[in-house]
């Protein structure tokens, strides 16, 4: 049996790089979730609008994104768009665009279900005190929907965070890419990938715990 | 003396699909009056109430609030539906309390009362809070103002809902079977608040199955039957001298509750 000698000095020497890369991945996920939520919200309203010319294209967008592998979308946007004259995006912007569109499709389904689940009594109560249509959405429907969908939003954030590892494919220096680089330079396979895995796991778990606290804070709907 | 008529309905009709629920309702509510609608379920009481507040649109006849048609304007002899903004402005003058309370679940009792004050009446927050505190104390819930609906009993929720409606200073307050969803022991606290409002001169249109309350508090009682007004008059007349067999049998269900 081959003996593997662990040498953790490669990790301690590169600890700063690991953390920077982790922060970048987390940042990409959060930004994409935010943009994706805006897209998703608009898409959800389009889907429930009852207007064919609006809901049709949005339906197609959601289905195309949901049924295509994310890696392929990343390649398509990064390598494909310049062919159509869109060449002003650097790789990070291109990735954020892809991940936001991807998140948007999933969030639109979350929000659509959220909108559908809001009891119409709340809207009627808002009507009865004389609130105008957009006020009813802004002050009653959206806050209630936000609370109902919070667990799904959390899940999406954690998924997106893990999906940022795919950015390694277009050389964005997030955790997976950096780990691969350090591995290539030092051949400390076990140390490097174990560290990367534990960092992903710990961060995702921390996120989940944190978001559960947020959920608890907003749990006023029973 | 017809000038103090606040709400006037004439020949109000409403169908859901092929079913005609309101077959021409005539009704008047004067300033400061409490008018109660009674009748079996399905007789159209709630639908009529919802038409007054434009949660449903009536198909025929007219509903006038302060002489102004509710929900539409007439232009060259033609009816035009009002814009959503205009409809919202009309609704702001009519308060409504629902069977299921319908408190906003993400807001505290105080915030529930404040929302309409700040967003619809554009009052500053501090003033809205003052008004909310005032009305929450009037319904006996000042110390619960920071509670969320799920932390309140049904009776308390309904009292908050009443405070929310009254705080808007509506011309008319609608009550849609507001005690039907409550446990029996919680009914009286809500009826007590309503009686207080009636005594303070609030104009109220009430759908209720609480016959003792209706007889005690109403100035005018309207018995509805199958989408029509079957009998109307002061409570003594309606309860003491039911003209139709249907009213007699309807009241018979409450027999023993009063000395008829």
Q: Which residues of B touch A143 (CB under 8 A)?
A: 106
Q: Which residues of B touch A126 (CB under 8 A)?
A: 104
List residues of chain A with CB under 8 Å from any CB of chain B.
121-122, 124-133, 135, 139-140, 143-144, 147, 218, 220-222
| Cβ within 8 Å, pair B91-A129 | yes
What DSSP state is assigned to residue A6?
A: -
Tell me if A147 sits within 8 A of A222, measured CB to CB.
no
Averaged pLDDT, B23-30: 95
Buried b / exposed e along A96-119 (16+ C-beta atoms within 10 A) = bbbbbbbbbbbbbbbbbebbeebe
Per-residue pLDDT, B73: 83
Helix (H, G, I), strand (E, B) or coil at B229: strand
Cβ–Cβ gap A125/B104 under 8 Å: yes
Strands (E) in chain B, as ranges, are 5-16, 19-30, 34-38, 60-65, 68-69, 72-75, 78-81, 94-97, 172-176, 204-207, 220-225, 228-233
Which of B88, B100, B168 shows the shortest C-beta gap to A121?
Answer: B100
pLDDT tens digit sequence for A206-222: 999 999 999 998 887 76
In this prediction, residue B226 carries a pLDDT of: 93
Mean pLDDT in residue range B1-21: 88
Domain definitions of chain B by residue range: 5-257
* B1 pLDDT higher than 50: no
List the 65-94 stretch of B: residues with Cβ below 8 A of A: 84-85, 88-94
C-alpha dist (Å) from residue B226 to A103, B10, B67: 53, 17, 27
Chain A neighbors of B86, CB-CB under 8 A: none
Average pLDDT of chain A, as a whole number: 93
Put simply, whether B55 touches A (Cβ < 8 Å) is yes
CATH superfamily name and code, A16-219: MetI-like (1.10.3720.10)
Which pLDDT belongs to residue B151? 95
Asked if the C-beta of B150 comes within 8 angstroms of chain A's C-beta atoms, the answer is yes
Chain B partners of A132 at a C-beta cutoff of 8 Å? 84-85, 88
Measured from the Cβ of residue A202, the count of other Cβ atoms closer than 10 Å reads 11
Alpha-carbon span A145 to A116, nearest angstrom: 9
Interface contact A131-B88, CB threshold 8 A: yes
Say which residues have a Cβ less than 8 Å from residue A40's Cβ, sequence separation at least 6.
A103, A104, A105, A106, A107, A108, A109, A110, A111
- The third-level CATH classification (topology) of the domain covering B5-257 is Rossmann fold (3.40.50)
Indicate if the alpha-carbon torsion angle A79, A84, A85, A88 is positive or negative: negative
Q: What's the pLDDT score for residue B42?
A: 87
Note the pLDDT tens digit of each residue in B36-92: 999 998 899 999 999 999 999 999 899 999 989 998 887 777 888 899 999 999 999
Chain A residue whose CA is closest to B121: A130
Contact B106 A121 (CB under 8 A): no
B93-145 residue pLDDT tens: 999 999 999 999 999 999 999 999 999 999 999 999 999 999 999 999 999 99
Q: Where are the domains of chain A?
A: 16-219
The whole-angstrom separation of Cα B33 and Cα B198 is: 8
pLDDT at A80 > cutoff 50: yes
Task: Inspect the interface and report whether the beta carbons of A129 and B95 lie closer than 8 Å.
Answer: yes
- Give percent of chain A with pLDDT exceeding 70: 99
- pLDDT score recorded for residue A222: 66
pTM for the model: 0.88
Asked whether the beta carbons of residue B105 and residue A220 sit closer than 8 angstroms, the reply is yes
Our CA-based measurement puts residue B14 at a distance from the nearest CA of chain A, in whole angstroms, of: 19
Yes or no, beta carbons of B106 and A144 under 8 Å apart: yes
**Interface predicted TM-score (ipTM) of this complex, two decimals:** 0.91
């Amino acid at each position: 049996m081959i003996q593997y000698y662990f040498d953790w000095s490669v990790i301690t020497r590169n600890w700063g790089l690991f953390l920077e890369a982790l922060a970048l991945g987390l940042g990409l996920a959060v930004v994409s979730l935010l943009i994706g939520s805006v897209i998703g919200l608009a898409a959800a309203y389009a889907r429930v609008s009852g207007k064919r010319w609006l809901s049709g294209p949005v339906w197609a967008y959601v289905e195309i994104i949901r049924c295509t592998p994310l890696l392929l979308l990343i390649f398509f946007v990064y390598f494909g768009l310049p062919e159509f004259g869109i060449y002003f995006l650097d790789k990070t912007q291109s990735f954020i665009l892809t991940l936001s569109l991807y998140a948007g499709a999933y969030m639109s389904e979350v929000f659509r279900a959220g909108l559908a689940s809001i009891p119409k009594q709340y809207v009627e109560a808002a009507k009865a005190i004389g609130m105008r249509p957009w006020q009813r959405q802004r002050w009653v429907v959206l806050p209630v929907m936000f609370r109902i969908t919070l667990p799904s939003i959390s899940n999406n954030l954690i998924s997106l965070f893990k999906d940022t590892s795919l950015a390694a494919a277009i050389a964005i220096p997030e955790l997976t890419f950096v780990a691969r680089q350090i591995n290539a330079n030092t051949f400390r396979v076990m140390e490097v990938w174990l560290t990367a895995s534990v960092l992903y796991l710990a961060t995702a778990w921390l996120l989940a715990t944190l978001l559960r606290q947020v959920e608890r804070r907003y749990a006023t709907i029973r | 003396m017809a000038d103090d008529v606040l709400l006037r309905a004439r020949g109000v009709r409403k169908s859901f699909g092929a079913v005609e629920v309101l077959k021409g309702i005539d009704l008047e509510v004067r300033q400061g009056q409490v008018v109660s609608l009674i009748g079996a379920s399905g007789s159209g009481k709630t639908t009529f109430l919802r038409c007054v507040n434009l949660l449903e649109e009536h198909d025929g006849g007219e509903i006038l609030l302060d002489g102004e048609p509710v929900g539409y304007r007439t232009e060259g002899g033609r009816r035009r539906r009002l814009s959503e903004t205009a409809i919202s402005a009309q609704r702001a003058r009519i308060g409504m309390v629902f069977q299921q309370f319908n408190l906003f679940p993400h807001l505290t009792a105080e915030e529930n009362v404040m929302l309409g004050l700040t967003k619809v009446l554009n009052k500053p927050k501090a003033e809205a809070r003052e008004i909310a505190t005032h009305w929450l104390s009037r319904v006996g819930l000042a110390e619960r103002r920071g509670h969320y609906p799920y932390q309140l009993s049904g009776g308390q929720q309904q009292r908050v809902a009443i405070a929310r409606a009254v705080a808007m200073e509506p011309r008319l307050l609608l009550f849609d079977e507001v005690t039907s969803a409550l446990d029996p022991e919680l009914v009286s606290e809500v009826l007590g608040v309503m009686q207080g409002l009636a005594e303070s001169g609030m104009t109220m249109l009430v759908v209720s199955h609480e016959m003792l309350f209706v007889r005690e508090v109403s100035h005018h009682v309207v018995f509805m039957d199958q989408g029509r007004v079957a009998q109307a008059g002061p409570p003594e007349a309606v309860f003491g001298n039911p003209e139709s067999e249907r009213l007699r049998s309807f009241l018979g269900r409450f027999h023993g509750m009063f000395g008829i």
